[in-house]
Amino acid sequence: EFQLVHELCLYVLFASQRTELIRATLATLHAFLSWIPLGYIFESPLLETLLNFFPVAAYRNLTLQCLSEVAALQFGDFYNVQYVKMYTVFIAHLQNILSPSTNLPDAYAQGSSDEQAFIQNLALFFTAFFKSHIRVLEATPENIAALLMGLEYLISISYVDDTEVFKVCLDYWNSLVLELFEAHNALDNPGATANAMGLQMPLHSGMVDGLGSQIVQRRQLYAGPMSKLRLLMICRMAKPEEVLIVEDENGNIVRETMKDNDVLVQYKIMRETLIYLSHLDHEDTEHQ
Query: Domain limits at 206?
Result: 162-288
The answer on 135 and 172 residing in a single domain is no
Q: Domain end: 161, 182, 197, which one?
A: 161
Q: At what angle do helices 205-221 and 163-185 cross, to 10 degrees?
A: 150
pTM attached to this predicted model: 0.86
- pLDDT at position 88 over 50: yes
Report the CATH number at residue 109: 1.25.10
The answer on 173 and 94 residing in a single domain is no
| Least trusted range by pLDDT, from 6-20, 140-154, 161-175, 204-218 | 204-218
Return the pLDDT at 283.
Answer: 85
- Distances in Å between the Cα of 224 and the Cα atoms of 112, 157, 158 are 32, 17, 16
Find the helix or strand (DSSP H, E) in which 140 lies. none
d(CA 119, CA 104): 8
d(CA 46, CA 38): 11
The answer on 221 and 131 residing in a single domain is no
The answer on 176 and 140 residing in a single domain is no
Return the pLDDT at 26.
Answer: 96
- Distances in Å between the Cα of 231 and the Cα atoms of 107, 127, 281, 284 are 21, 19, 13, 10
Answer whether 257's CB lies under 8 Å from 243's CB: yes
Which has more confidence, 179 or 206? 179
Q: Domain end: 133, 161, 189, which one?
A: 161
The answer on 174 and 120 residing in a single domain is no
Return the pLDDT at 41.
Answer: 92
The answer on 157 and 121 residing in a single domain is yes
Q: In 180-205, which positions are buried (b, 16+ CB within 10 angstroms) versus exposed (e)?
A: bbebbbbbeebeebbebbeeeeebee
Q: Count of alpha carbons within 13 Å of 212, Cβ hemisphere only? A: 14
Find the helix or strand (DSSP H, E) in which 75 lies. none
149's CB contacts (< 8 A; 6+ apart) are 91, 95, 100
How does pLDDT run across 126-169, given as a tens digit for each residue?
A: 999 999 999 999 988 999 999 999 999 999 999 999 999 999 99
